[in-house]
Structure 1
Amino acid sequence: MAAKWNHTALLVIDMQNDFILDDSPMRVAGGKAIVPNVIKAVEIARQRGILVVWVVREHDPLGRDVEVFRRHLYSKGKVGPTSKGSAGAELVDGLVMKEGDYKVVKTRFSAFFATHLHSFLKTEGIQDLVVIGVQTPNCIRQTVFDAVALDYPSVSVILDATAAATPDIHQANVFDMKNIGVATPTLQEWSELCKQA
C-alpha cells in the first residue's frame, strides 16, 4: 500500500435506507443508481488502506434534534426519517461497516457541523478527503465547503458515486465545487489513481 493513502479518508455520506429506498419520503431520486459505485469505492478504499468514515443521520424519534423545516415529519406515534434505531437509519444493502471503519452521526447537512469529525480526522493524520453519497446540493456540498474552509489540502468528490434529485442539480453543484478547487474524478479515474504508488 502506498503510504500517502494513510493520510486519506473516504467519507460515505447518508447512504441510508430512508434516503435511498423507493418508498421513503426522504428518497433522493438519483441515490439508488449510485449504490454499486459506492460499494466499489468502499472496496477500493479498504484495499488501499484508506480510512472509511460512515457519516450518517440519526435523529431523536420525536424529532427534537431535527431542523425546523423537517419537524412536521416527526409526530406523536410516528417514527420520523432516520430515527435512531429505525430500519430507515440503517445503511442500504451492500454497505457494511467493518472493523477499523469509523462512524460519525450528524443532525445537519454538513458532516462537520456540531460533530467531532474534524478533530478525529486531525488525530488520525488525515489530510485528504474523498467524498461520496447523497445528496449533492445538501450534505455533500456543505461537507465539502466546510472541508475547504478547514484547509484540507485535497478534497475530491467522486462524480458517479454521488447523486442528487436530478442530473442537472448534481452537475450545477459539481460546477460550484470545482470552482473552489475540489477535484471531481469519476470512479474509474479515482480507481486508477489509487493504483499509483
Structure 2
Amino acid sequence: MAADDTGTTTTTALVVIDMQNDFILADGPMRVDGGLPIVPNVIKAVDQARRRGFLVVWVVREHDPQGRDVELFRRHLYADGKPKPTSKGSKGAELVDGLVIKPEDYKVVKTRFSAFFNTHLHSVLQGAGIDSLVVVGVQTPNCIRQTVFDAVSLDYKSVTVIVDATAAATPDVHAANIYDMKNIGVATPTLEEWCGSSN
C-alpha cells in the first residue's frame, strides 16, 4: 500500500495503458486516432494519482523486433523491410512526451491485449495490497476492455475507467465499449468528476 500527501494509506492503483509513440503520434504505425487528444488528461490523471499516493502502473507493449512474441494476426507487420511497431528499444515503444516513469512507479510489459495475460501484474497488485484500479490509455475496445474485464473477473473491489482519458479509433467505438464496461459494474467518470471524488 502507498500513502497520499497526508500519510493515509491507499489501496488504489492507476493503470496507464499503451501511451506509447507508435500508438499515439500522428505518424505512428499503430496510431489510435483518439489517442493524441487524451494525452493532457492522462498526464493530469497521473499527477492526481501521485498526489493521492496511488501506485502508478505503466503497461506497455514491447515486442521482439522479429515479431516472435506477436499475435499471429499481426506478425506480417514485422516482415523484413517494414517498421517494427513497439519493438524493444525503439523510439516507437517509448512513452509519449509528458509521461515519465518514476522510481516509485511500476512497469509491466505485455504482448497481448490484457495487462493481466501472461504477466505478473495481478501478483504485484496483490502484494502491494491493491484492491481498486483506475484505468486510462488506449485503446478502448482492445487493451482497455480486455484489462478491465480481467480485473472484474479477478474480483477487484472497484474498477474505474476515466472516459476522457481513454480513447479508441472513433468516438462511437469508444462510447460502445464504455457502455459495455458500465454494464459489468465499472465506474466511468470524466477526469473532472474523478478528480473531485475520493477514489
Bucket of the pairwise TM-score, normalised by the shorter protein = over 0.9
Q: Decide which of 81, 85, 110 is 2:114's aligned counterpart.
A: 110
Contact 2:13 2:55 in 1 (8 A): yes
Matched, 1:9 2:13: yes
Identity of aligned residues (%): 75
Give the equivalent residue in structure 1 for 2:151.
Answer: 147
Matched letter for residue 121 of structure 1: L
Deviation at 1:76?
2.5
C-alpha distance after superposition, 1:63-106 (max 9, x if no partner): 00000110011022544100000000000000000110000000
Deviation at 1:154?
0.2
C-alpha distance after superposition, 1:115-148 (max 9, x if no partner): 0000000000000000000000000000000000
Q: Secondary structure at the residue paired with 1:193?
A: coil
Change (3 A) 1:153 1:3: farther
TM-score normalised per structure 1? 0.96
**Counterparts of 2:104 and 2:28, CA distance in 1:** 30
**Counterparts of 1:86 and 1:35, CA distance in 2:** 20
Q: Secondary structure at the residue paired with 2:45?
A: helix
Higher helix share: 1
Deviation at 1:5?
6.0
Q: Decide which of 60, 63, 71 is 2:64's aligned counterpart.
A: 60
**Counterparts of 2:184 and 2:19, CA distance in 1:** 25
Matched, 1:39 2:43: yes
Deviation at 1:4?
6.9
Superposed CA RMSD in Å reads: 1.3
Gaps of 5+ in 1: none
Report 1:51-130 matches (<5 A).
51-130=55-134
Gaps of 5+ in 2: none
Matched, 1:163 2:167: yes
Contact 1:56 1:103 in 2 (8 A): yes
Change (3 A) 1:183 1:5: farther
* More deviation, 4-13/156-165: 4-13
**Counterparts of 2:55 and 2:64, CA distance in 1:** 28
